[in-house]
Amino acid sequence: MAETIFAKIISREIPAKIEYEDDHCMAFHDVAPQAPTHLLVIPKQPIVNLAAVTDDDTPLLGHLVRVATQLAERLNLADGYRLVVNCGPHGGQTVDHLHIHLLGGRPLRWPPG
């Protein structure tokens, strides 16, 4: 996998407004927010997208979702929020590193796009 902007954020080559970090993942504010609250939760392990996930990644995926829900609670998104994972070019993925968008702070429309 080629080094992505997210790998550079993990290694601190590129600055980010980091909201959370542990040994397995990092969460930071999106530089082009689509909602008042827009964070990206990424694994530190380089996984291209959901199509590249293996059975061995199952605990990590659960951890990413749990971190996202804990951040939603901490950021007072009690009225609701959305978790989005884009997969591949037709799915809207623009960075080849798995990431979960945490969106909230306003009513979100459906369908999304």
Dihedral pair phi/psi, residue 66, rounded to 5°: -65, -40
Are 97 and 52 in contact by the 8 Å Cβ rule? The answer is no
- Is the bond into 111 cis (omega within 30 degrees of 0)? yes
CA-nearest of 113, 62, 112, 50 to 82 is 112
Name residue, tokens 């968008």: 101
Catalytic site residue 99? yes
Catalytic residue selected from 63, 90, 97, 99: 99
58: tokens are 């199952």
Catalytic residues: 99
